A and B are shown apart, each in its own frame.
Chain A
Amino acid sequence: MSDGAQFRTPASDARQISPTRRSFVLGGFCLCCLPGAGPGAFAAEGPWPTEEIAEGIHVRRGVDEDATKANADAIANIGFIIGRDGVLVTDPGGSLTDGERLRSAIRAKTSLPIRYVVMSHIHPDHIFGASAFSGDDPVFIGHYRLAEALQQRGAYYRGVLAEILGEDRVGSIVAPKMEARGKSEIDLGDRVIEISAHSPAHTSTDLSLLDRKTGTLFPADLLFVGRAPSLDGSLQGWRDVLADLKQTGVPRAVPGHGPASVAWPQGAAALDGYLAVLQRETEAAVEKNIGIDAAAKSVAQSERAAWKLFDDYNGRNVIEAYKEIEWR
């Protein structure tokens, strides 16, 4: 894809796929009986529960935990948008299991073809479900730097996940077929989805989506609500991107972690506050010659009660922020 190019697919050849009831059962139920799958906690529920947060937009809320065998890395908010001519998936999920459940949830709602699978960024809880959709032959969409990031980290992430979930439940790495740069658009027939590829923020591979039809923003992990944010790109960059996204003028956003949907831009307030404290106190630590190790233990502790999993992420965020700030 060249810089700033648009990819608009009319999807005129919409294939009609009529999954049988049996395939729902296979997708949603029998998976849990396979060796290496979770303890079957969700076995009886059939398709994984999703919530229709706006017309045609379905979101599965992730659990506020780190990846475990029991949760099958279903820890991120994932979902899909149903348009007149097809379905767009964002994100495909944290494991093959997670992706297969999402796929059966889609098939319970519509038989329209799954045309696009958006991988919002490099982190495994958002993208390892992609291979569950390979049979649909969708266009896999990622940031133009995603392929490079997958080369650097994909095998490592996959190894770690395999250890937790079991080799057969992880899913394989899927490279993006369409590399998003700047702004692009996807036409689902009755709705156009705008895709923005951002400069380094949460990670170096962040995409956000916008559905003007319902006024819904998909910032993915550019928005954390309630669960501790993780910084893996640029602190200043994240604050800048968040400020831009707040100007979008839509009433609703789907966080990458947290509730299935929040009011926008009010839903960004807590994250804004955390990133501001992280930056201010890390700058002060660098200024006062407080070492990176001591800073990791002291910076942003006032935010501790506001976030789940705070102790698992804050120290590392401080280290990332410190590295960025000490070179200024």
Chain B
Amino acid sequence: MTRFCLALVLFAAIAPAAMAADDETARAERWNDLRQSFFGQRPILEGSDKISLDAPDRAMDAALVPVTINVANPSQVKAVYLLIDDNPAPLAAHVAFGPAGDPRSLKLRVRVNQYTYIHAVEETLTGELFATRRFVKAAGGCSAPAGSYDPAALADIGRMKLRASEQSSGDGSVEAQLLVRHPNFNGMQMDQVTRLYTPARFLKTIEATYNNEIVFRLETDISMATDPAITFGVRTSQKGKLAVSARDSSGALFESSFDLGPQGS
């Protein structure tokens, strides 16, 4: 994967122009390949009435593209997938919701390496798949770090911050945002002292529980922006504890817990 990403760096500049010629056909084939590799032969239905995907048409910062996924029938949703078709590692997120999770709205920040379709796929409790997509113009989010990442920031790795909205939605759901300090190195930054590439090191899973019930379990990779931020819904009944555990590709485990209740944290 790292090598693939490196190859993309070298050709990042010409890729958008080259894509223009065979664009729509190539994009359709790309999505066909992706859906088969992630979902096999399972049918994926057009789902724009069930799941919506919001992202800027043209990203202001390719290394931090905010994406919002909303679902129409949260109680029927088991999981959502976010795929950035033309990224080196297309599966940006697979979020499986637990009993304490409210899937109605999910926000993530991703990297986009070149002009691409982004697909959001909803998996229902009965196993049906519904997809919607959006075209995003952005380039270089994988290969060009927006800001140089200060090696000293590694000292802060795994630090977490939780922000909860003031009001609940009326049915006990609270929207919360989790920030996790992590460089999400994609294997392309060079260490000036050793002259070696900093090995890829990125978050692979983030799991959140509320009073020991699962809110969500997120699987992710290098398509997630530096310092991942996830906004999600929690079904809260009374004051309780939101516990988060995150594991990165080096095996490091980061854990934090926060007080969270219907009236905010």
Residues of chain A having any CB pair with chain B under 8 Å: 122, 145, 147-149, 151-153, 155-157, 159-160, 162-163, 200, 203-205, 232-233, 289, 291-293, 296, 315-316, 319-320, 323, 326-327
Contact = CB atoms under 8 A, between A and B. Distances in A.
Interface residues of B, number: 36
B179 to A, nearest CB: 7
Interface of B is mostly: loop
Contacts of B148: 122, 145, 148-149, 152-153, 203-205
B227 A291 contact: no
A205 to B, nearest CB: 8
Contacts of A200: 150
B64 A319 contact: yes
Contact of A163 (B13, B146, B150): B13
A315 B163 CA distance: 23
Nearest to A313: B60
Contact of A152 (B61, B177, B190): B190
B14 interface: yes
B150 A153 contact: no
Given A148-B190, A163-B14, A320 B9 contact: no
A315 B144 CA distance: 18
B168 interface: no
A156 B12 contact: yes
A230 to B, nearest CB: 11
B70 to A, nearest CB: 13
A147 B191 CA distance: 11
B10 A320 contact: no
Interface of B: 9-10, 12-14, 17, 56, 60-61, 64, 66, 68, 107, 109, 140, 143-148, 150, 161, 163, 165-166, 177, 179, 181, 188-190, 192, 227, 229, 231
Contacts of A156: 9, 12-13, 140, 143-144
A296 B109 CA distance: 14
Given A155-B9, A296-B60, A316-B61, A163 B17 contact: yes
A327 B181 contact: yes
Nearest to B163: A289
Contacts of A232: 146-147
B145 A153 contact: yes
A162 B17 CA distance: 13
Contacts of A296: 60, 66
Contact of A293 (B13, B56, B146, B147): B56
Given A152-B145, A289-B163, A293-B66, A315 B10 contact: no
Contact of A291 (B12, B66, B144): B66
A20 to B, nearest CB: 38
Nearest to A318: B60
A289 B165 contact: yes
A155 B10 contact: yes
A136 to B, nearest CB: 27
Given A147-B192, A289-B163, A292-B109, A153 B144 contact: yes
A232 B63 CA distance: 12
Given A163-B14, A327-B181, 9 more contacts: A148-B192, A151-B192, A156-B13, A156-B144, A159-B10, A159-B14, A296-B60, A296-B66, A319-B61
A238 B189 CA distance: 25
Contacts of B143: 156
Contacts of B147: 204, 232-233, 320
Contact of B13 (A151, A152, A159, A233): A159
B126 to A, nearest CB: 32
A155 B12 CA distance: 10
A150 to B, nearest CB: 10
A315 B58 CA distance: 11
A60 to B, nearest CB: 27
A319 B150 CA distance: 18
Nearest to A157: B144
A149 B107 CA distance: 30
A320 B56 contact: no
> Which 8 pairs across A and B sit closest by C-beta, in order of nearness?
A159-B13, A315-B60, A293-B66, A156-B144, A151-B190, A316-B60, A148-B192, A163-B13
B263 to A, nearest CB: 15
Most chain-A Cβ atoms within 10 A of its Cβ — which of B64, B147, B150, B231? B147
Nearest to A162: B13
A160 B109 contact: no
Most chain-B Cβ atoms within 10 A of its Cβ — which of A203, A292, A326? A292
A153 B13 CA distance: 13
Given A291-B231, A292-B109, A327-B179, A159 B12 contact: yes
A323 B180 CA distance: 12
A202 to B, nearest CB: 12
A309 to B, nearest CB: 13
A67 to B, nearest CB: 13
Contacts of B177: 289
A152 B109 contact: no
B61 A160 contact: no
25 contacts: A145-B148, A148-B148, A149-B148, A151-B189, A151-B190, A151-B192, A152-B148, A152-B188, A155-B9, A157-B144, A159-B10, A159-B12, A160-B13, A204-B150, A233-B147, A289-B165, A291-B107, A292-B64, A293-B66, A293-B68, A296-B66, A316-B60, A319-B64, A320-B61, A326-B179
